[in-house]
Structure 1
């Protein structure tokens, strides 16, 4: 059974969802895949996974790096999970490219699945905590954020990233 809760952040309302294994979703209200994996029957409330995620968000939105990751239950294909695990390794306050992320997620390093990686980054169900906002185009393009480029910019600035080095769409 999934449980949902909401969090009011400086960049808008956030929907959080968990199941019995951990946090399964965190979506900005502008996310193109908002609530896409919610079960038909869920309850609204609080539990240890949602509380932990809110604690993480409180620290993050104070402009600080949280020193823990809430219990996550990543749901997707094996490839998507490898991409999301690669995203979790991007250090706070830094960025990486889709190409570098593809290198880390690919099993066959000779054939980089850059488009598939972009698709997996875009289908990340747990934004911010699984930091897809830290992925940029190889030519320093600020591209591909499901919650909107304006939110991506605000999240990067919050982490102290100098966004003047990037090209805006």
Structure 2
């Protein structure tokens, strides 16, 4: 694995690469996240592209990412993360609606757990999932960061 730590408006982030694909993107620190390993720090072409795309995202000039992804998880987690990738920039849905889209209407809690274990923050947009009541719910990087990103994506409409 190769790693790169970079700064963002929401604090330091860690990007992780395996086999030429992004396998992790975490806030430092982040629940279920990795910590940097100085022995793995390197500036690869992919990791520098991730950093550049993240800077453009935070500046409000990038709405679609185009880096290869290789998140590691169970088949169910992979299905949830794939469904998250289909969510357009600025759109939010509830955990229940996401479970319904996966044809798993009784698996809302399992879907929420898979969302919370997403290893590629922001690019796999788990921050776009909200409670059925429209309120912000947990976010592995912190609810304050989730609110900031949704505010950015929705043109300044505060949550």
Q: Taking structure 2 as the reference length, what is the TM-score of the superposition?
A: 0.90
Gaps of 5+ in 2: none
SS at match of 1:70: coil
For 1:157 and 1:41, how far apart are their aligned partners in 2?
Answer: 34
Higher mean C-alpha deviation, range 53-62 or range 77-86: 53-62
For 1:128 and 1:79, how far apart are their aligned partners in 2?
Answer: 20
For 1:102 and 1:41, how far apart are their aligned partners in 2?
Answer: 39
1:126 aligns with 2:120: yes
- The answer (yes or no) to whether the contact 1:56–1:66 under 8 Å persists in 2 is no
Deviation track 1:45-82 (CA, whole Å, cap 9, x = no partner) reads: 02232122112102101112344321100210011011
Aligned-CA RMSD value: 2.0
- The answer (yes or no) to whether the contact 1:23–1:70 under 8 Å persists in 2 is yes
Gaps of 5+ in 1: 165-169
SS at match of 2:76: helix
Call closer, same or farther: CA 1:34–1:83 in 2, change over 3 Å.
same
The CA deviation at 1:10 is 0.2
For residues 74-113 of structure 1, the aligned pairs below 5 Å read: 74-106=71-103, 109=104, 111-113=105-107
- The answer (yes or no) to whether the contact 1:64–1:159 under 8 Å persists in 2 is no
1:29 aligns with 2:28: yes
- The answer (yes or no) to whether the contact 1:17–1:50 under 8 Å persists in 2 is yes
- The answer (yes or no) to whether the contact 1:122–1:146 under 8 Å persists in 2 is yes
Higher mean C-alpha deviation, range 63-72 or range 73-82: 63-72
- The answer (yes or no) to whether the contact 1:30–1:148 under 8 Å persists in 2 is no
SS at match of 1:16: strand
Name the residue aligned to 2:45.
48
The CA deviation at 1:133 is 0.5
- The answer (yes or no) to whether the contact 2:90–2:153 under 8 Å persists in 1 is yes
For 1:82 and 1:67, how far apart are their aligned partners in 2?
Answer: 20
Name the residue aligned to 1:9.
8
Q: Taking structure 1 as the reference length, what is the TM-score of the superposition?
A: 0.85
